[in-house]
Amino acid sequence: MIVIADTTPANYLVLIQQADLLPRLFGQVLIPPAVFDELKDPETPALVRTWLAKAPSWLQVKPLHSQPDPELDYLDEGEREAITLADVLRRSGADSIPFGRGHSTEETMTITLDIRVTLHHNSRSQTLHRLGKK
């Protein structure tokens, strides 16, 4: 199975040193160019930028050959491109699942994964991020 990752889950999984969960759960991980650019942005944590500079072979940047649907303009560029990539792969018959927030348009329905990443430190739990259902 192929997973299309948005910036947020990839970012947080790298920060908690659990990025290797993605290939174990899904196999191949694709990101669109906008997600790659967001992950290498100077404001992204150094740990993530360093990881991306030596990205594992299971992470592939997949260029888009079509423009995102204008109805998705309320989303950031990475989310728009991830949804567009998921739609292109779905139409081609690929076995893929988007990894990020869920959105739907008239022609496309992406799947929402509700994930809670919790860091346990000194017997205290701190939720780092939760992807909400929409």
81-123 confidence digits (pLDDT tens): 988 888 888 777 665 555 554 444 444 444 444 444 444 444 4
What pLDDT, on a 0 to 100 scale, did the predictor assign at position 106?
42
> In which band, very low, low, confident or very high, does the pLDDT at 33 lie, cut at 50, 70 and 90?
very high
46-79 confidence digits (pLDDT tens): 999 999 999 999 999 999 888 888 888 888 899 8
Q: What is the pLDDT of residue 39?
A: 95
pLDDT tier at 124 (50, 70, 90 boundaries)? very low
The domain 2-130: what is its CATH number?
3.40.50
Residue 37 has pLDDT above 80, yes or no: yes
Q: Which long-range contacts (CB under 8 A, 24 or more apart) does 82-89 make?
A: 82/4, 82/5, 82/6, 82/31, 82/32, 82/34, 82/35, 83/108, 83/110, 84/32, 85/4, 85/30, 85/32, 86/4, 86/110, 88/64, 89/2, 89/4, 89/30
The mean per-residue pLDDT over the stretch 29-36 comes to 93
Q: Stretch 29-43: mean pLDDT, rounded? A: 94
